[in-house]
Amino acid sequence: MQDFKGKTAVITGAASGIGEALAHEAANRGMNVVLADIEAPRLADVEAALRDKGAEVLSVVTDTSSKDAVFALADAAFERFGNVHFLANNAGVAGAKGGTAWSTDDAEWDWVMGVNWKGVRYGVQAFVPRMIEAGEEGAIVSTSSIMGLNTGTTSPYNISKHAVARFMEGLYYDLQMEAPKLQAILLCPGPIATEIVKSTRNRPDGVPVEEEGSLGHRGEVFHNWLQEEGMTPEEVSGMVFAAAEDGSFYVHTHPEYVTASFLRRVKGVTSEDKLPLPLPKDFIEG
Ligand SMILES: NC(=O)c1ccc[n+]([C@@H]2O[C@H](COP(=O)([O-])OP(=O)(O)OC[C@H]3O[C@@H](n4cnc5c(N)ncnc54)[C@H](O)[C@@H]3O)[C@@H](O)[C@H]2O)c1
């Protein structure tokens, strides 16, 4: 995708972090921007900031785990701007309490899989047929994670991000066969300085947390570490638009993490003893 000026971007999870940075990058490139997020007040702040830059903006408060809501978002975007050229399925949540394969609460599974995985699928279902019909160049980027390529324990986050990665690899082939003017992009961020660790702020009723109203010690430490050591969301958005320009599929913000963890996974899968490799001591949970 080479031309952005006057084209339309739709970004979910646009009220914070990576989505907010993608929205600014789109506006900086002269695109119309459709902002979608579940957090209305923050969404309004981002909308105001983009309008100050002179961008044409439409905000739609959207819960991406709802198929109806994502289809309503598509209706609103196509009605206002005629076509969509850049779709970022980016909204995501880290989860709440977690646990083992057998003990993680069903409500947490449903929440995390709903936002992180179904939200991506609904985005593709709602937008891609209409983007194909319009017959113009475009890109669909979905946000997975280094945890989407890595092996490890059964946190709903890790499983959801694996689903996104594999789904997008499939979309890449589907588009090559059926709609080569559209490009698939898989964003696999490592640590980024955002609010992701605090995503229980958006959890539905019934999802249990460790300590009501608090992240708990471990979460607070991880949040602070991300703010200090994480890459800025602006760097990430620059990488995503560069991938749209050069036709890349995988976008790795921290390739060193991916290579090490992915090779580890391959080694386990292909090992002679037919067992996953033991987890490293410093293994980072999703
Ligand atoms: N920050 C990291 O280190 C990191 C690493 C790997 C992947 N990611 C992924 O990047 C994406 C963006 O997250 P971020 O890091 O910018 O975090 P963030 O919390 O700053 O932003 C996520 C946004 O998604 C929104 N959101 C949450 N639930 C929603 C729902 N049901 N419907 C619509 N919007 C919803 C939030 O309100 C928020 O604005 C996520 O998919 C996340 O999993 C982040």
From the CA of 94, give the closest atom in ligand 1.
Answer: 43
The verdict on whether 157 is a catalytic residue reads yes
d(CA 170, CA 249): 12
In this structure, what DSSP letter does residue 192 have? B
122 within some domain: yes
252 within some domain: yes
Tell me the CA distances in angstroms from 103 to 99, 109, 116, 142, 218, one per residue in order.
6, 11, 20, 29, 19
Pocket probe mutation, ligand 1, options 10, 20, 38, max atoms within 8 Å of Cβ:
38
From the CA of 193, give the closest atom in ligand 1.
Answer: 1
Q: How many CB atoms lie within 10 A of CB 286?
A: 22
| Total domains present in the chain | 1
State the pTM of this model: 0.96
283 within some domain: no
Question: What confidence tens digit (pLDDT) does each residue in 13-44 have?
Answer: 999 999 999 999 999 999 999 999 999 999 99
Q: Given 157, 172, 250, 257, which residue is catalytic?
A: 157
Per-residue pLDDT, 286: 43
Q: Whose CA is nearest to atom 42 of ligand 1?
A: 92
Q: What is the mean pLDDT of residues 117-121?
A: 98
Q: Give yes or no for residue 89 CB within 6 A of ligand 1.
A: no
**Dihedral (Cα; 130, 135, 139, 140), 10-degree rounding:** 20
How many Å lie between the centroid of ligand 1 and the Cα of residue 38?
Answer: 11
198 within some domain: yes
Q: Give yes or no for residue 114 CB within 6 A of ligand 1.
A: no
Domain residues for the domain of 128 are 8-270
2 within some domain: no
The residue among 121, 262, 130, 112 whose CA lies nearest residue 188 is: 262
71 within some domain: yes
The CATH number covering residue 225 comes to: 3.40.50.720
List, in sequence order, every residue forming a beta bridge with 71; answer none if it has no partner. Answer: none
- SS3 string, 82-134, reads CCCCEEEECCCCCCCCCCCCCCCCHHHHHHHHHHHHHHHHHHHHHHHHHHHHH
Chain position carrying tokens 């019909």: 133
Q: Give yes or no for residue 194 CB within 6 A of ligand 1.
A: yes
Q: Give yes or no for residue 285 CB within 6 A of ligand 1.
A: no
Q: What is the mean pLDDT of residues 50-55?
A: 97
From the CA of 161, give the closest atom in ligand 1.
Answer: 43
d(CA 146, CA 158): 9
Question: What confidence tens digit (pLDDT) does each residue in 95-118 have?
Answer: 998 889 999 999 999 999 999 999
Q: Where are the beta strands (DSSP E) in the chain?
A: 8-12, 32-37, 57-61, 86-89, 138-143, 182-188, 250-252
Q: Are 58 and 108 in contact (CB under 8 A)?
A: no
Q: Are 43 and 67 in contact (CB under 8 A)?
A: no
